[in-house]
Amino acid sequence: MKKLFLLTALLAFFTLVTSQKKCPLPKLLEPCKCTSDDYPVLYVCNNIIDQDALNTAFRNSYDYPLDALSLRYSSLLYLPISLLKTKNISFIAISDSTMASIFDEPPHRQNKLENVILRNISLQRGVDWSLFSSVSPKIIQIEQVAIKRIGLVFTQSIRSSLTQLTLLKTKTASFNEKAFSKLTNLHHFECSYNRIKVLKRSMFSDPSPLNYLDFTQVSFIFFSDCLLLFAMLDIIRYDFFFMF
């Protein structure tokens, strides 16, 4: 009995030590919180209105791992990527916030950013796609963030690693002629509740692995080369108001 107790105590001690190793002491990370059941190490930062407080938290946790970061209900300038250099952040979600820009500089290659979710954020400088040119995200999901046009900067910055793109209620009205043409792995594209008027075959790669395209509630769609486009798709959801 005594032995068992000792073992339990030892185990508890080791768990404490290892979880402390992954998460910094809560006080150091304020106003953020760290949770870690081994993997992933998640930082949740809510209600941040002081950029310096966030910078201090990241400076204090400089030597600790970070896999996923969630920022919500905040008003600040940017996520200080310059203080996250050492981390493998594969997942970033920002929602219900106001910012000048998403990041202060492009994430570093070793940040391995794979999944980006932006929801209901107001960005003074708009979405600067060039901030993503150094990383290779696989999934980008954007909802309720104003992106009037997918222009040349998107085409030049977003790499062919992208497999899933969602632009939901982004007030998007137009795409560059070659908007998604470099995205040779894009198989899932959702662009619902937007104002797209023209969609062309040339906007996508050729051949294209696209098998899911959702343009629900787009007010008017014109497909040029529509036969080619349909031939390339396995599934199309179209609850359009108006087609052709």
96 forms part of the interface with ligand NAG (CB under 6 A): yes
Q: What does the DSSP assignment read for 130-171?
A: GGGTTS--SEEEEES----EE-HHHHHHS-TT--EEEEES--
Task: Quote the least distance from Cβ 67 to ligand NAG, whole Å.
Answer: 8
The 42-81 contact track toward ligand NAG, x by CB under 6 A, reads: -----------------------x----------------
DSSP β-ladder status, 75-76 and 91-99: parallel
CB closer to ligand NAG out of 122 and 134: 122
Nearer to ligand NAG, 72 or 200 (CB): 72
- Residue 8 vs residues 13, 21, 23, 177, 181: alpha-carbon distances, Å: 8, 20, 22, 64, 58
Count the residues of the shown chain that bind ligand NAG, applying the rule CB under 6 A: 9
Find the shortest distance in angstroms from Cβ 122 to ligand NAG.
Answer: 6
Question: Does 86 contact ligand NAG by CB under 6 A?
Answer: yes
Binding mask 104-123 for ligand NAG (x = CB under 6 A): ----------------x-x-
Candidate segments 95-103, 172-180, 212-220, 232-240, binder of ligand NAG by CB under 6 A: 95-103
Site for ligand NAG in 172-201 (CB under 6 A): none
CB atoms within 10 A of CB 237: 12
Neighbours of 72 (CB within 10 A): 17
> How far is Cα 229 from Cα 200, in angstroms, rounded to an integer?
8
Which of 46, 55, 70, 88: binder of ligand NAG (CB under 6 A)? 88
What is the CA 81 to chain-centroid distance, rounded? 14
User: Any contact of residue 98 with ligand NAG (CB under 6 A)?
Assistant: yes
C-alpha closest to that of 194 among 178, 215, 164: 215
Do residues 33 and 56 make contact, with C-beta atoms less than 8 angstroms apart? no
Interface residues with ligand NAG (CB under 6 A) are 65, 86-88, 96-98, 120, 122
